[in-house]
């Protein structure tokens, strides 16, 4: 039996999108669990503030995950990773008719291309060591029909498919690759969306969105981080090629 299966002591974790939301919670918990953490984020100032607050102190690297040269430079600066968490992402509200080509391309570049480029940058060092863990951030939108989430659902379906492909292709290299699929999580995106779309009705609409999970509330970033810690730790050494919903009963209890 592993003495402390949830420790990340001696591990280097790269977390994309670590400056806010779920990525931020993951970076903080991983640092508390002993990992050295590098935050890769477009918002360099917020990433640096988060990195400085970690114990032990982390590092921050500015990066546009949709840009090949930016990713290559960021990962070279960060150094080899034992763990890669792809949490950088953007959302969008719209149907196939209301989604503009520009919005479609923007979501694809960040959510799909960004995940692809980060994995492509991290895997060679993992191959060389014959060990590594990759965790991608999918969504219930990957496998459930959600209204007005056409482009977002497309990108998260791609993230799920890429996860399975990478898990299969690099099984012999000792690399595990999984993804998690949250339902609604209370992040700054939710608050900003409500303030922008329903001014003066934020509380009412928040309650309506929260009620769409059978458990009666949205998830918290810290709850997603706990699942991420498990999947990236040695406790999950027998798990690869899986998608883990964390959804407040969304799929089975509606």
CA-CA distance, 37 to 96, in Å (whole number)? 38
Q: How many CB atoms lie within 10 A of CB 203?
A: 10
116's CB contacts (< 8 A; 6+ apart) are: 162
What pLDDT, on a 0 to 100 scale, did the predictor assign at position 224? 98
CA gap 17, 225 in Å, rounded:
13
pLDDT score at 1: 56
Other CB atoms within 10 Å distance of the CB of residue 159: 23
**The whole model's pTM is what?**
0.95
Q: Which domains occur in the chain, in start order?
A: 12-183+221-241 (3.40.50.720), 186-218 (no CATH)
The residues assigned a catalytic role are: 152
Judged by DSSP in three states, 147 sits in: coil
- Provide the b/e sequence for 167-187 (b: ≥16 CB within 10 Å): beebeeeebbbbbbbbbbbbb
Mean pLDDT split into 10-residue runs, the chain, 254 residues: 83 97 97 97 96 91 98 98 97 96 98 98 98 98 95 98 98 98 93 90 93 94 98 97 96 88
Predicted pLDDT of residue 167: 98
CA distance 108 to 96: 14
């Amino acid at each position: 039996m592993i003495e402390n299966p949830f420790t990340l002591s001696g591990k280097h974790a790269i977390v994309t999108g670590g400056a806010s939301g779920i990525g931020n919670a993951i970076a903080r918990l991983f640092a508390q669990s002993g990992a050295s953490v590098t935050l890769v984020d477009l918002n360099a100032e917020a990433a640096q503030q988060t990195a400085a607050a970690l114990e032990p102190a982390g590092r921050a690297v500015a990066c546009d995950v949709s840009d090949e040269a930016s990713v290559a430079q960021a990962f070279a600066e960060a150094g080899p990773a034992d763990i890669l968490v792809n949490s950088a992402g953007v959302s969008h509200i719209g149907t196939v008719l209301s989604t503009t080509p520009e919005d479609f391309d923007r979501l694809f570049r960040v959510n799909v291309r960004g995940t692809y480029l980060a994995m492509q940058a991290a895997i060679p060092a993992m191959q060389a060591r014959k060990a590594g863990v990759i965790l991608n951030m999918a969504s219930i939108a990957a496998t459930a029909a959600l209204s007005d989430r056409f482009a977002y659902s497309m990108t998260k379906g791609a993230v799920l498919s890429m996860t399975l492909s990478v898990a299969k292709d690099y099984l012999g290299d000792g690399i595990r690759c999984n993804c998690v699929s949250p339902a609604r999580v209370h992040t700054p995106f939710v608050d900003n969306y409500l303030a922008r779309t329903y001014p003066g009705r934020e509380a009412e609409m928040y309650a309506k969105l929260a009620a769409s999970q059978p458990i009666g509330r949205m998830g918290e970033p810290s709850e997603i981080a706990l699942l991420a810690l498990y999947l990236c730790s040695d406790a999950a050494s027998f798990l690869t090629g899986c998608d883990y919903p964390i959804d407040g009963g969304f799929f089975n209890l509606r």
